[in-house]
């Protein structure tokens, strides 16, 4: 379930933005640092440009758990992953998926296991039982 902000939290953030609390707090911290380090030129530069807000919303989208798991499956079964699999354009998505279907790579393990997959293929990925 998604968490939502209540009316009091929204009012707090609105007041924080409108009253300029960010600039006040930043000025206090910078003045404290300047007092402790009087030769620090970066602090003096930052005090001149205090009004600019330094944080911004990231432009790069993050990988959700579902996308990460899907990418791992494609990588495990085809040996590669094309990021266009997640494209919203249906034509680009179909081309990306079809390009992945052509390559089949069987992973071989160096340790001896009793899994049928490990015993059915040799090091090159060829079927042993034909």
Q: Is the pLDDT assigned to residue 127 strictly greater than 60?
A: yes
User: What pLDDT is attached to residue 38?
Assistant: 93
In the predicted model, what is the mean pLDDT of residues 102-107? 55
In the predicted model, what is the mean pLDDT of residues 84-90? 90
User: What pLDDT is attached to residue 130?
Assistant: 64
Joined together, the tokens standing for residue 91 give 């034509």
Sign of CA dihedral 88, 91, 96, 102: positive
In the predicted model, what is the mean pLDDT of residues 99-114? 60
- Per the CB < 8 A criterion, the answer to whether 109 and 116 are in contact is no
- pLDDT single digits (tens) 43-65: 999 999 887 767 777 787 778 88
In the predicted model, what is the mean pLDDT of residues 113-119? 68
User: What pLDDT is attached to residue 107?
Assistant: 57
User: What pLDDT is attached to residue 73?
Assistant: 86
User: What pLDDT is attached to residue 4?
Assistant: 80
- Per the CB < 8 A criterion, the answer to whether 84 and 92 are in contact is yes
């Amino acid at each position: 379930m998604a968490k939502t902000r209540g009316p009091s939290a929204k009012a707090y953030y609105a007041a924080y933005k409108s009253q300029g609390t960010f600039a006040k707090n930043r000025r206090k911290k910078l003045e404290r640092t300047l007092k402790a380090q009087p030769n620090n030129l970066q602090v003096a530069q930052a005090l001149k440009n205090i009004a600019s807000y330094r944080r911004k919303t990231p432009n790069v989208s993050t990988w959700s758990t579902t996308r990460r798991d899907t990418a791992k499956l494609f990588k495990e079964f085809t040996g590669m992953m094309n990021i266009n699999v997640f494209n919203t354009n249906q034509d680009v998505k179909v081309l990306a998926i079809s390009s992945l279907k052509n390559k089949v790579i069987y992973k071989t393990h160096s340790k001896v296991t009793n899994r049928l997959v490990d015993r059915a293929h040799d090091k090159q990925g060829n079927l042993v039982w034909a």
